[in-house]
Amino acid sequence: MSFALTDIGLNLTHDSFDHDRETVIAQAVAAGVTHMVITGATLDGSRAAIALARRHPRCMRATAGVHPHHAQELQEAERGELRRLLREPEVAAAGECGLDYFRNLSPPVEQRRAFALQLELAAEVGKPVFLHQRDAHADFCAILRERLPALAGGVAHCFTGNGAELDDCLAMGLSIGITGWICDERRGTHLRELVRHIPAERLMLETDAPYLLPRDLVPRPATRRNEPRWLPHINAVVARCRGESDEALAALTHANSLRFFGMTAATVPAVATPVATLA
């Protein structure tokens, strides 16, 4: 493949990658995924994402934040530590933060409090937000709209919503991250029409690895673990839905992602010798 891609959201510090993380990175780069943004979903996970990005400074950045599932872990006492992490040069965005009422692994009131706290810190440090929302659209929009003027932008990570929700996100100026959910014939077919309505300058792609393995991969991988090397497949599906060439869509989303996350298009060097775990 002759074109480059950016995976804006992957959980590469997940323990399912502990035995072959550097091999996974090498295979992604070989597939054309030259840049990756490693998601931080807890304070410890954010530290690990920063450490990984620090090891691969030319092709990786990290986010730092607390997923709504873990909202109870982010109290006022942790504000200073999250602020410190957000100021690290490897951190390109605040998050993954937002609301998730689908599972409610943290009480909604705690989710709303932690979300507001993280938006305040993002505004303070001047970094955009990497946003999560599931079954909480009204509250998500209400909290976010109030703080939009102070924010340096945001991306709706793993967008899976309907047309009205897409319209709301676009009206708030958000970029939209599309994952392999669009490849799911059970749940994602509505996205195949909706992606046509995302403005070119707002569209980005992601795998959310190790989650959301595209269901239409042929041949099927031996395991259900998703990997960044499958991003070209997602690119091809989205390109087909939008009536664009694979190369044109890759160039578009790659440029959008580099700009949003403050990365450069420098050639990615050979990946380091594989190691088993994070340093």
> Which residue's entry shows tokens 């705690």?
110
Note the maximum CA span of the chain. Answer: 50
Coil/strand/helix, residue 64 = strand
186-201 pLDDT, tens per residue?
A: 999 999 999 999 999 9
User: Domain count of the chain?
Assistant: 1
Residue 269 included in any domain: no
Residue 255 included in any domain: yes
- Asked if residues 158 and 177 have their Cβ atoms less than 8 Å apart, the reply is yes
Element (H, E) at 147: helix 137-147
Mean pLDDT of the chain: 94
pTM over 0.85: yes
Structural domain for 228, as ranges: 5-261
| CATH code of the domain covering residue 235 | 3.20.20.140
28-52 pLDDT, tens per residue?
A: 999 999 999 999 999 999 999 999 9
Residue 277 included in any domain: no
Residue 216 included in any domain: yes
Residue 62 included in any domain: yes
* Residues 98-121 as b or e (16 or more Cβ within 10 Å = b): bbbbeeeebeeebbbbbbebbbeb
Q: From start to end of 147-274, where are the E strands?
A: 154-156, 175-178, 203-205
DSSP label at residue 30: H
**Residue 269: both structure tokens together:** 């060097």
CA angle, residues 41, 92, 46, in degrees to nearest 5: 25
How far apart, in whole angstroms, are the C-alpha atoms of residue 157 and residue 176? Answer: 7
* Residues 23-46 as b or e (16 or more Cβ within 10 Å = b): ebbbbbbebbbbbbbbbbbbbebb
Residues in the chain with pLDDT values less than 50: 267-279
Burial tier of 125 (Cβ tally within 10 Å: 0-12, 13-18, 19+)? middle
How far apart, in whole angstroms, are the C-alpha atoms of residue 141 and residue 16? Answer: 33
Residue 158 included in any domain: yes
Residue 223 included in any domain: yes
Phi, psi (5° rounding) for residue 219?
-75, 160
So what's the pLDDT on residue 271? 42
Closest Cα to residue 60, out of 88, 97, 98? 88
Residue 267 included in any domain: no
**Residue 82: both structure tokens together:** 């999250």
